[in-house]
């Protein structure tokens, strides 16, 4: 399997409503993610069937058993995405006690970073990623958007920012103006944009 670049959307469980999954589908569609098919056992399902299933599991705070390959689980989706071979999306709810959950979009790393330059992106690729992140940020309930490679452990929950935690930005993260007050911006370029969002660009990355 190829290595994957991850875009992780962080949510608060208290914001879950009866149309939460459908709402995310709406914003992702307008961001340029076109539903292609179900994935990983859900290939024959429609987007509506996948949405209804995942909504029910979220409402009941379902936590998958990682040791049960045939147990119930959140269904995954494949998307068409301009500039890439595609993207796969899925929910993570592995730590319900934290009061948060995640939606993850993965793209092959080789399509994101420049060949033989792990800290570089082609400008066209960077622009497409930023367009995607900015549009998804329109969804009011998103707490953070973080990006990283398979070598990273995962996102930094927003609750850890006050204690010195930094969002994963490889190369981008989006946080709110309120969260920015608790984040050291050394090493980041800071760019405010719409809906109270702040784009953090990791200075270790370059465009070619």
Q: How far is CA 205 from CA 1, 7, 83, 144, 187, in A?
A: 25, 16, 20, 20, 10
Closest CA to 207 of 122, 110, 132: 122
Residue 95 lies in a domain: yes
Q: How far is CA 167 from CA 6, 10, 40, 154, 156, in A?
A: 13, 11, 29, 10, 5
List residues bridging with 114 in a β-sheet. Answer: 117
pLDDT of residue 125: 93
pLDDT for 88-134, tens place per residue? 999 998 776 788 999 999 999 999 998 878 799 989 999 999 999 99
Question: Residue 79: pLDDT above 70?
Answer: yes
The phi, psi pair for 7, rounded to 5°, reads -115, 115
Residue 53 lies in a domain: yes
How many CB atoms within 10 Å of residue 5?
A: 22
Residue 172 lies in a domain: no
pLDDT for 169-189, tens place per residue? 999 999 999 999 999 999 999
How many CB atoms within 10 Å of residue 85?
A: 11
Residue 187 lies in a domain: no
Closest CA to 138 of 93, 83, 193: 193
pLDDT of residue 156: 95
Residue 207 lies in a domain: no
For range 38-43, the mean pLDDT: 93
For range 42-69, the mean pLDDT: 88
Q: How far apart are CA 207 and CA 2, in angstroms?
A: 23
pTM, entire model: 0.94
Q: How far apart are CA 174 and CA 16, in angstroms?
A: 21
Question: Residue 70: pLDDT above 60?
Answer: no
Of 66-70, 92-96, 131-135, 148-152, the range with the lowest mean pLDDT is 66-70
Q: Which two tokens stand for residue 84?
A: 């890439």
Number of domains in the chain: 1
Question: Residue 65: pLDDT above 70?
Answer: no
Residue 184 lies in a domain: no
Residue 182 lies in a domain: no
The phi, psi pair for 82, rounded to 5°, reads -55, 130
Category of 69 on φ-ψ map: left (φ > 0), alpha (ψ -120 to 50) or beta: alpha
Residue 110 lies in a domain: yes
Question: Residue 31: pLDDT above 70?
Answer: yes
Q: Which domain holds residue 12?
A: 4-157
Question: Of 1 and 45, which is predicted with more confidence?
Answer: 45
């Amino acid at each position: 399997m190829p290595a994957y670049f991850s875009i992780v959307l962080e949510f608060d469980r208290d914001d879950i409503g009866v149309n939460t999954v459908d709402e995310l589908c709406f914003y992702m569609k307008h961001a340029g993610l076109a539903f292609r098919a179900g994935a990983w056992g859900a290939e024959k399902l429609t987007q509506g069937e996948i949405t209804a299933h995942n909504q029910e599991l979220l409402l009941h705070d379902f936590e998958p058993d990682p040791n049960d390959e045939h147990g119930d689980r959140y269904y995954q989706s494949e998307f068409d995405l301009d500039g890439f071979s595609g993207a796969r999306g899925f929910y993570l709810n592995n730590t319900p006690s934290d009061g948060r959950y995640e939606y993850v979009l993965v793209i092959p790393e080789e399509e994101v970073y420049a060949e033989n330059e792990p800290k570089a992106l082609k400008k066209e690729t960077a622009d497409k990623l930023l367009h995607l992140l900015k549009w998804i940020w329109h969804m009011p309930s998103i707490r953070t958007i973080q990006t990283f490679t398979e070598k990273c452990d995962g996102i930094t929950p927003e609750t850890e920012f006050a204690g010195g935690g930094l969002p994963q930005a490889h190369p981008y993260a989006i946080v709110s103006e309120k969260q920015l007050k608790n984040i050291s911006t050394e090493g980041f370029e800071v760019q405010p944009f719409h809906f109270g969002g702040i784009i953090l660009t990791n200075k270790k990355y370059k465009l070619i």
